[in-house]
Amino acid sequence: MKKEWMYVVLTSLFELLWIFGFNVASSWWHWIIIVTIIAIDFHFLSKACESLPTGTVYAIFAGAGAIGTTLMDIFIFEGEFNAIKGLFMIILILGVIGLKLADNSSKVQVQTKGENV
């Protein structure tokens, strides 16, 4: 895995950590840990955006956060799962994959145009 994609994975994981922290924080020092995790998360997000398209990085970041938070709610906090949640999670995953494929497609077109010049 390339370094820039590792940053995307790390920012997605740290996002889930601070969201989990929001649900379990009960004292002031928990909030210090959460703020630290948020700072680390945004560091990885900015590093990923240095070499990858920001739209693609943010789509993956937001999609992983939305799906991860929903799964965390279901499996850790005993939330409810239903078919509608599952459907929208699938749509979200397809949207993120579509954006990634569209990004790769535009890179190929730009490289092809550059070769013809």
Residue 116 confidence (pLDDT) above 60: no
Residues 55-99 pLDDT 10s:
889 889 999 999 999 999 999 999 999 999 999 999 999 998 888
Residues 46-63 pLDDT 10s:
999 999 988 889 889 999
- Report the distance separating Cα 93 and Cα 104, nearest Å: 17
For the segment 12-39, the average pLDDT, to the nearest whole number, is 96
Percent of the chain at pLDDT above 90? Answer: 71
**CB-hemisphere CA count at 13 Å for 32?**
3
Residue 4 confidence (pLDDT) above 60: yes
The full DSSP string for the chain is --HHHHHHHHHHHHHHHHHHHHHH--SHHHHHHHHHHHHHHHHHHHHHHHHS-HHHHHHHHHHHHHHHHHHHHHHTS-----HHHHHHHHHHHHHHHHHHHHHHHHHHHHHHHHHH-
Q: How far is residue 52 from each of residues 25, 36, 77, measured CA to CA in Å?
A: 33, 24, 34
pLDDT of residue 75: 94
Name the residue with higher pLDDT: 47 or 115. Answer: 47
pLDDT of residue 101: 85
The amino acid that residue 8 corresponds to is V
- Please check whether residue 14 is in contact with residue 41, taking contact to mean a CB–CB distance below 8 angstroms: yes
- Report the distance separating Cα 113 and Cα 88, nearest Å: 37
pLDDT of residue 109: 63
